[in-house]
Structure 1
Amino acid sequence: MDINNGSFNSGPMGMVPTQDPNEQEIREQKKKLTRRFVSGILIGCFIALFICAGLYLVYGLRTGRPMAPASASLSGGEELINDETISKIQILEDTIDTYYYKPDVDKEAEAIGMYKGLMDSLGDPYSVYYTEEELEELMSDTAGVYYGIGAYVSIDEDMNLPRISGVIPGTPAERAELQTDDIIYEVDKESTQGLELDDVVSMIKGPEGTTVHLTILRGSQNDQIEVDVERSAVEVPTVSTEIVGEREDIGYLKITEFDDITPDQFKEGMAELRENNIRGLIIDLRSNPGGSLQAVCDIAREILPKGLIVYTVDRNGEREDYSCDGTKQIDIPVVVLVNQYSASASEILSGAIKDYGIGKLVGTTTYGKGIVQRIFDLKDGTAIKLTVSDYYTPNGNNIHGIGIDPDVEIEFDSDAYSEDKTDNQMEKALEVMEDLLDN
């Protein structure tokens, strides 16, 4: 027990005021509760527990089907919000207000902590509470579109300053002639020295049509350049392509994540590859964390034969199928690169390709995330993400916590890649492709 002034005792509630509340005091506390901050907290808890059948947003693996409201009772049938919990919340708040060593406690932060704690109590890392700011960022990430300048930024460890690590074609950053390896010394005349990457990115992002002023250090002499960049909507590339192989007749298509924009980018990439008369396709899903269920199903419909893509099963045993009509089944050999960080939607696509036998998986066993989340809008700018079902590959495999084993297992040789950029997994994928073409 921490040193204190003796005004606490260790009763059955733990560290509480010396006088235990009786029934009358509890009633008074409940009345007071309706007039104080805690009422707001409880309303938030009610919102989180009794999710209205209204508008919900979709994120991660999304099904697009409304869910029944969650139960608000404890495992033993007792209600979560009752006299005891109301009283205890009041006691906690009073104790903090009276004895916490900092006099000014952020009540909004306390409320957010309660909401997040409620979700944390599920013991599910994928079920979380989002503040307004977190929700806005989440939706921007899911859409694959944000408002900024179109430059990738990392932290230069030597200078402890942000460095531009890439420029997206056709964006304000390219039009402003920003370059890879430019150091961002200031943003709107504010130093970026020692800032976290997220802080720098937040400073650069902003509403469409507004301008951000950057002070850039360029080249070995650190020439200082002042540039104004007008922010605009930036579509983040999630698909990249190239022609590979000794005879330059193998298409290589990398998907970094499955956002709302990814299916269109996939179709464009495939069209470009087809123009080169490719004889085989390598799809690279390594380190792809997943994303939208709708997006991965749309892409699967460009490849798979007629039949199931994936199906989900909820807590009530209700099943929902996602199918493909087979009209666009791919007619060339396919090899899929996967690793231990290929998760969620990546496993849906690679699992379906493996189950149908239309391609070979090369690499290492995938991550093993076989559950589905949905975002529920709480109508006040905030939301919760909740795990709502399991998913299964076409052959009925639930890969959660297990992953998908590749047909050809090969560990990535990081030493070789560091030395001369040799990608041994890619080389193996090309070998497997040549075998498929020869047969």
Structure 2
Amino acid sequence: MVITKRGLVLGATALVLTTVGVTGAGIHLSQGQALFRESPKEIVDEVWQIIDRQYVDGTFNQVDWRAVRKKYLSRSYSSKEDAYKAIREMIKPLDDPYTRFMDPKQFKDMQIDTSGQLIGVGIQLAQDEKTKKLVVIAPIEDTPASKAGILAKDIILRIDAKSTEGMDVNQAVQLIRGQEGTPIRLTILRGDKQLVFPLTRAKVEVHPVRSSIQKDSQLGSVGYIRLNQFSANAPSEMRNAIKNLERQRVAGYILDLRSNPGGLLYGSIEIAKMWLGEGAIVSTVDRNGESDRQVANRTAVTNKPVVVLVDGGSASASEILSGALQDNKRALLVGTKTFGKGLVQSVRPLGDGSALAVTIAKYFTPSGRDINKLGIKPDVVVELTEEQKKALSADRTQVGTVNDPQYAKALQVLKQEIAKTGNSAASTTAK
């Protein structure tokens, strides 16, 4: 199983954004594929076939999968919409929130070009596997949601006047999207309090990497890198950020993965190679027990000490990167336990322009840890109080500064690590 393909995704969430100027995503239908438009039943069978061949659980959650095919192919479908409804019904017994069907519009919305303009409120959603509630994994920085104070782990109770009871992520995304400048109200449950957030949909510019120099009286310069998501251009932006900070002779790094919901699998592997000179990065195992192991290849951009910030919003690809650095003793983790998503999805375009995201494998950290539903425990735990979370949300300029308690602790840990290694701003970099 080749796991570096760009089609493999690890994101635990859906982005509540709408692309501007998205065309057909480069997908062209053959004559045979075009027949799906005339035969909705064929798209139902295509979805069944993909799951039958690739789904990670060979028992299909103890479901008789062949009986499922017989049941749904015995029906007549008068329209594609009828077929779409049947597909969602068909895959529901798998009880896997990450295996999901997307109609053509939803598929196009998923194909977000991060170098372009987006329209939305800027939140990342997931459905809690146990409660089925819609949970905010993370607000995207400098968006209407983050500026209004929406936080990770907030539960969305209502979208405008509509209750989210029984609503899946796709339905929520459809309701939250809209035209730029239009209003929307989200009712949030935070702890035992209900909060109402009036928001205005806006253009959102998403750059996955932000970096800066932080001055310290003892260390001189510290490189601070915040990675927001593992999008297609995250590896190139990360490499440029590290090289730029190396030129400025930083003493060490704080890599901030807090509220990073994940993204493309290859991105986490490529970025891990920038920090790791050698050692395993991740192993994936499909339902047949076939595994693929990715290792560093001596292409690290720096060998200077690094501390990684994580929290409950650090998911999937973030957990691969932080797990690899922790297991290889390349970095210490500071913050709170990560989200706990150890599953890999493949997004398969279907004949009529729709698509299926199907869970095809589990992944394990280099030491063999299965972190699914368990998360990764940081080496140094630093919890934020509600007041601290609100203060940082209200003034995002304080994130990644000494006024950010988790960052302040990470800086303290970094100083200790630099003292152990005798590293300094004049140290040579890894080739």
Contact in 1 for aligned 2:114/2:206 (Cα 8 Å): yes
Q: TM-score, normalised by structure 1?
A: 0.62
Distance 2:262 2:115 in 1: 17
1:404 aligns with 2:376: yes
Per-residue Cα deviation, 1:296-329 (whole angstroms, up to 9, x for no partner): 1111111112232101000000011212112326
Q: Cα 1:77–1:267, aligned 2, differ >3 Å: closer, same or farther?
A: closer
Q: Does residue 1:424 correspond to 2:405, yes or no? A: yes
Mapped to 1, the partners of 2:334 and 2:56 lie a distance apart of 42
For 1:327 and 1:251, the matched residues in 2 are separated by 19
Residue in 2 aligned with 1:316? 288
- Change in Cα spacing, 1:68 to 1:362, as seen in structure 2 (3 Å) is closer
- Quick one: structure 1 residues 86 and 400, their matched pair in 2 at CA, closer, same or farther if it must change by over 3 Å? closer
2:236 alignment partner, SS class: helix
Q: Which digits, 9 at most, give the CA deviation of each residue in 1:209-243, with x for residues without a partner?
A: xxxxx89xxxxxxxxxxxxxxx9xx9731100111
5 Å-filtered alignment, 1:304-383, equals 304-328=276-300, 330-383=302-355
RMSD: 3.9
Residues 44 and 69 from structure 1, CA distance in 2 versus in 1: closer, same or farther, beyond 3 angstroms? farther
Superposed, which structure 2 residues align to 1:268-283 within 5 Å?
268-283=240-255
Flag the 1:119–1:145 CA change in 2: closer, same or farther, 3 A: farther
Does residue 240 of structure 1 match 2:239? Answer: no
The 5-angstrom pairing of residues 294-313 of structure 1 reads 294-313=266-285
1:94-135, Cα deviation, whole Å (9 max, x unpaired): xxxxxxxxxxxx954433211112222210000000110111
Listed as ranges, the matches of 1:28-427 within 5 Å are: 40-51=39-50, 79-82=67-70, 89=75, 107-140=79-112, 143-147=113-117, 202-204=178-180, 236-247=206-217, 248-328=220-300, 330-419=302-391, 421=398, 422-427=403-408
Q: CA deviation at 1:44?
A: 2.4
Helix, strand or coil at the partner of 1:43: helix
After TM superposition, give the deviation of residue 77 of structure 1 in Å: 7.8
Q: Which amino acid aligns with 1:426?
A: Y
Query: 1:78/1:152 Cα in 2 relative to 1: closer, same or farther (>3 Å)?
Result: closer
**Gap runs ≥5 in structure 1:** 1-38, 54-65, 94-105, 155-164, 168-179, 182-192, 205-213, 216-230
Deviation larger for 69-78 or 280-289: 69-78
Tell me the CA shift for residue 137 of structure 1: 1.1
% identity of equivalent residues: 30
| Structure of larger gyration radius | 1
CA positional deviation for 1:198: 7.0
Instruction: Work out whether residues 50 and 72 of structure 1, in 8 Å CA contact, stay in contact via their aligned partners in 2.
Output: no
- 1:258 to 1:437, Cα distance in 2 relative to 1, 3 A: same
Give 3-state SS (helix, strand or coil) of 2:369's partner.
coil
Q: 1:277 to 1:308 in 2, by over 3 A?
A: same
The SS at the match of 1:203 is: coil
Instruction: Report the number of matched residues.
Output: 313
Provide the rounded CA distance (Å) in 2 between the counterparts of 1:414 and 1:245: 28
Instruction: Tell me how far apart the structure 2 counterparts of residues 276 and 282 of structure 1 sit (CA, whole Å).
Output: 15
Q: Distance in 1 between matches of 2:174 and 2:73?
A: 38
TM-score (norm 2): 0.63
What are the ranges of 5 or more consecutive residues in structure 2 without an aligned counterpart? 1-37, 124-140, 149-159, 163-171, 183-202, 393-397, 421-431
Work out which of the residue numbers 403, 408, 417 in structure 2 matches 1:436: 417
Which one is further off, 429-438 or 414-423? Answer: 414-423
Structure 1 residues 147 and 410: alpha-carbon distance in aligned structure 2, compared to 1, 3 A threshold: closer
- Displacement of 1:435 after TM fit? 1.2
Counterpart of 1:436, as a letter, is E
Q: CA deviation at 1:270?
A: 1.1
Secondary structure of 1:269's partner?
A: helix
Residue 414 of structure 2: SS of its match in structure 1?
A: helix
- Could you say what secondary structure the match of 1:121 adopts? helix
Once residues 265 and 77 of structure 1 are traced to their aligned partners in structure 2, the CA distance between those partners, rounded to angstroms, is 43
Query: Who is 1:98 aligned against?
Result: none
How many Å separate the matches in 2 of 1:166 and 1:78? 48
CA distance in 2, matches of 1:127, 1:68: 9
